[in-house]
Amino acid sequence: MTQARILVVEDERIVALDLQHTLESFGHEVVATSPSGERAVELARAHQPDLILMDINLEGKIDGTEAAEAIQAEMHTPIIFLTAYTESSTLARAERSAPYGYLVKPVETRALQATLRMAMARSRAERRVRQSEERLRIAMEAADLGVWEWDAGESEFHSLGNLERILGASPDGLSESPNALLARLAPVDRAAIFNALERGEGVQTTVRLMNSATEGGRPVWIDFLARFYTSTEGVLERAIGAVRDVTQRQEAETALKQASLAFESIAEGIVILDADRRIIMVNDAFTRLTGYTGTEVEGQDLEQLLLGRRPGDAIFHKLDRAGTDRWHGEIAARRLNGKHFQAWMHVCSLTDTDGITSNYLVALSDVTALRESEALVRHQAQHDALTGLGNRNMLSIVLARELERQQHGGNGFALIFIDLDGFKLINDTMGHDAGDLLLVEMASRIRRVLRASDTCIRLGGDEFLIVAPEVEDGPTARLLADKVLASIREPLVVGREQVSVSGSIGIALCPEHALTAEDLIKAADSAMYSAKALGRNRARVWSLDMAQRAATRLRMEQGLLRAIANEELLMAYQPVVDIGTGMIIGVEALMRWTSPTDGVIDPGRFIPVAEDCGLMEYLGTWALRTACEHAYDWIQSAAPHLRVAVNVSARQFQSGDFPEIVARILNDTSMPANQLELEITESVLQQIEQSREQINALKQLGVHVAIDDFGTGYSSLSVLKHLAIDRIKIDRSFVKDLPGAPSDEGITEAIIALASALKVALTAEGVETEAQRDFLAERSAMHAQGWLYYRAEPPERIAALLASGPQEESPGNTDRGR
């Protein structure tokens, strides 16, 4: 018996060891043992054993049947299953790997030895068959010829060579008659061949096979040679013939025809030159491209024709210098009419059998429009569409260039960050078209004061950046910044209104302040925010304390996000009283934030941050819903006529769905609409038509609208004339110095008179002294709020105040002109 190299796959170690000893006693070599299917596959691949004894129940993710399938698919290694399982389902899975045996444990030693011997004999026999088949296949492929004979007496079909591969059919399928062979041919060729053979004539032709194609989907063509032999009585006795696959030859002939067609129909200009680089032939596209006909250019030098230069001066010089048989590149070519165009040229040399250049092939295409489009795309990729200034892409390019120059010993440069002050108000109140006109004008003004070496970038919105080379110190950078500020401040007409904006500028210097683009932008941005915080319309050079303030603002923003997630924001309420009786008639809802790390944070610090980072709409909606929930409880329990006032941010009011949000909250909380008052700053109402729509929608709900901080914004009296306002609130800045400040007294009396004339209710904010109260009470029956009466209190304290005594029905809710 032949010794075998065996892999044992068994999850029980004792059984595996016993099998190893048994197999070695038979004279076999156990190359390895494995308890798992995955490991068995790896060991089979590594050791290439002659045979594998495989258990079915194994460790790991796959069992023996799955491991056997994997091994058979890759290596064809003989496998004998040695297992205790005989269930039908297990046998069915085992069959899929076509095992050489299936032994059920426990197995006798003689049975194991006999099974191994038979398996090895079968393996050797199958290996010899595979080797014979491989030799036969190689011989058939080498001959690439199929020879056939049909014997009528025996009704047998005999074949030799690649007949089956060429025809795509086995000889058994062709034994019925010669007609079965002819049926493999395309119908268009079949009848003529059959008639010729019946007449006893020989056939030699090229035909296409029926329903047969290559892997790429191309038809299969064959040379078909045949002759039929008949008896003296005219009975067919036999037919002999041969076939050869000539698909490649047929494709080459087809390709040659197609190339000829393509030469005339292709959009590129094609030129064929002789060995001396003289024109032999051109196609129609070349004539359309250059204006030259084939007759006019035949025998001419192509370079001189297109470039107007000496022969061998340009195109072929590059080809020779490249040391290859082809070159491509872009040239500036000349047409017959003398006009130039950008052309992409491809040149290749053609050699004969001796390797000597016999011809040149030149392809020419007009890329003028492409180059113009690329230039436009490059411009658009690096420039702002609205202002024509550079964009972020250009900023990256310019900063990289300046940083590299500075790092290689060049002078430093300045980065100037510009933010327009007041742009948002104009954009929000006058519309985006007006905002765009203003941005275009500001870009033009900034560009006019810059040097030729400076680069201006629109970073986005109303933010601009200037990269100023050779500006290495703060005073020089400030001079440039002051010119920019002066240019920005000049009034301009937008629509039919004259408006003015200013700028806040931050300056960062390289290498003094930063050495990377990112750090420079951060530093200039911090300096700009510092200029804005100091009152705007100024320039600031970056310093370390600015970076610290920027970090503080970032912490504020992140803290605010955490505060929302952790529900650290609360609502407080400041009572509003009747100035004559001192009785509570309403409350104003005020947002409060108590941070677990920083304590109480003033709204003046976190509200602007919420506006900047886009959280104000969420916070405003939350505040409105919370205030309505609290107010509903107070109205139901102790204060049926209580009015609650809630501040509305510009972002909330100008969103298109604000009235729908208010309606939904009123419905969800059951809050009476006529006891809700929304306070809006006068600057928000500048765009009268849009504000009219929003206010009318709110009025239809029954909600009251008040102008907060009246007199501190930019509104005109047309706001009161055209909009259905219910209340004016006198800002605390006018109340603070009453009485005794003539200007404040005059302004306050004017506001009181205006409210009386327009029949709108009036509330004074910030009343802190009895003298202030008396001054206001003597001039009008109004409402007041301030520390003289109450500070802002938590909801539970308000509930106690309301429960402790009676409240009047607010005359402000009934005595209104609208």
Contacts 24+ apart (CB under 8 A), 367-376: 367/330, 367/342, 367/343, 368/341, 368/342, 371/342
3-state secondary structure of 470: coil
- The answer as to whether 234 is a domain residue is yes
Q: Are 222 and 205 in contact (CB under 8 A)?
A: no
CATH number assigned to the domain comprising residue 534 = 3.30.70.270
pTM of the model: 0.45
The pLDDT tens digits for 165-193 are 677 655 555 555 566 677 777 777 777 77
Residue 256 belongs to some domain of the structure: no
| 356 and 397 within one domain | no
238 with 344, same domain: the answer is: no
Strand partners, 570: 592
Token representation of residue 514: 């930063």
The whole-number pLDDT of residue 716 equals 56
Q: What is the DSSP string of 119-178?
A: HHHHHHHHHHHHHHHHHHHHHHHHH--EEEEEETTTTEEEEEESHHHHHTS-GGGG-S-H
Q: For the segment 87-98, what is each residue's pLDDT rounded down to a tens digit?
A: 888 899 888 888
Query: Is residue 68 a part of any domain in this protein?
Result: yes
What's the whole-number mean pLDDT along residues 127-155? 71
- The CATH number given to whatever domain includes residue 363 is 3.30.450.20
| CA–CA gap between residue 606 and residue 70 (Å, rounded) | 66
- pLDDT value of residue 526: 86
Please tell me the distance from the alpha carbon of residue 521 to that of residue 515, in angstroms, as a whole number: 11
Please indicate, yes or no, whether residues 365 and 452 belong to a single structural domain of this protein.
Answer: no
696 and 777 assigned to the same domain? yes
Q: Is residue 276 part of a domain?
A: no
Say if residues 474 and 458 touch (Cβ distance below 8 Å): no
Residue at a domain's end among 316, 337, 371: 371
pLDDT of residue 686: 64
Same domain assignment for residues 607 and 747: yes
Instruction: Answer yes or no: is 262 within a domain.
Output: no
Q: How confident is the model at residue 612 (pLDDT cuts 50, 70, 90)?
A: confident
Domain final residue, candidates 79, 104, 138: 138
The fraction of the chain above a pLDDT of 70, given in percent, is 88
Q: According to the model, what pLDDT value does residue 308 have?
A: 66
Among 283, 280, 261, which residue's Cα sits nearest to residue 270?
283
| Confidence check: pLDDT of 629 > 90 | yes
CA dist., res. 163 & res. 174, Å (int): 11
**Residue 390 has what DSSP assignment?**
B
> Is residue 715 helix, strand or coil?
coil
Are residues 134 and 168 located together in one domain of the fold? no
Are 331 and 464 members of one domain? no
**Boundaries of domain holding 31:** 5-138
What average pLDDT does range 317-333 have in this prediction? 77
> What does the DSSP 8-state code read for residue 793?
B
pLDDT tens digit sequence for 199-213: 767 888 888 877 655
Q: Is there a single domain that holds both residue 175 and residue 118?
A: no
- Say if residue 762's pLDDT is above 60: yes
Range among 195-199, 207-211, 492-496 rated most confident: 492-496
- The reply to whether 809 falls in a domain is yes
218-232, 662-676, 786-800: least confident range: 218-232
Region 748-752: what's the mean pLDDT?
91
| Count of the separate structural domains present in the chain | 5
Average pLDDT over residues 14-22: 91
What per-residue confidence (pLDDT) applies to 813? 40
Number of Cβ within a 10 Å radius of residue 333: 22
Tell me the C-alpha distance between 314 and 355, whole Å.
24
> Does residue 688 register a pLDDT over 80?
no
- Average pLDDT, stretch 487-512? 88
Per-residue pLDDT, 454: 93
Q: How confident is the model at residue 659 (pLDDT cuts 50, 70, 90)?
A: very high
| Residue listed under structure tokens 């064959």 | 222
Segment 611-620 mean pLDDT: 83
pLDDT, average across residues 637-665: 89
DSSP 419-443: EEETHHHHHHHH-HHHHHHHHHHHH
Domain shared by 536 and 574, yes or no: no
By mean pLDDT, which of 192-201, 480-489, 703-712, 749-758 is the weakest? Answer: 192-201
Whichever domain contains 804, its CATH number is 3.20.20.450
Say if CB 574 and CB 588 are below 8 A apart: yes
Do both 246 and 299 map to the same domain?
no
Q: Nearest 10 degrees: CA dihedral of 402, 407, 409, 415?
A: 40
**549 within a domain of the structure (yes/no):** no
> Rounded distance, CA 532 to CA 462, Å?
14
DSSP symbol at 657: T
Return the bridge partners of 83, or none. Answer: 104
Q: Is the pLDDT of residue 311 over 70?
A: no
Q: Which residues contact 252 (CB under 8 A, 6 or more apart)?
A: none
Q: What's the distance, CA 610 to chain centroid?
A: 28
Are 732 and 775 members of one domain?
Answer: yes
Residues 791 and 775: their CA atoms lie apart, in Å, by 21
Burial of 739 (0-12, 13-18, 19+ CB in 10 A): middle
Q: Is 447 within a domain?
A: yes
Closest CA to 8 of 43, 38, 45: 43
What tens digit of pLDDT does each residue of 768-818 get?
999 999 999 998 889 999 999 999 999 999 999 998 866 665 444 433 332
Nearest C-alpha neighbor of 69 from the set 35, 33, 44? 44
Tokens of 202: 């020989």
Measure the CA–CA gap between 89 and 702, rounded to whole angstroms: 77
Residue that finishes a domain, picked among 202, 229, 251: 251
Contact 158, 151 (CB under 8 A): yes
715 falls in which pLDDT band (50, 70, 90)? low
User: Which pLDDT band holds residue 107 (cuts at 50, 70, 90)?
Assistant: confident
The pLDDT mean for the chain works out to: 84
For residue 817, what pLDDT is reported?
30
- CATH code of the domain in which 125 resides: 3.40.50.2300
Of 533, 576, 632, 556, whose CA–CA distance to 811 is shortest? 576
Q: Which residues contact 653 (CB under 8 A, 6 or more apart)?
A: 680, 684, 691, 694
What residues are paired with 457 via a beta bridge?
Answer: 390, 465
731 lies in the same domain as 806:
yes
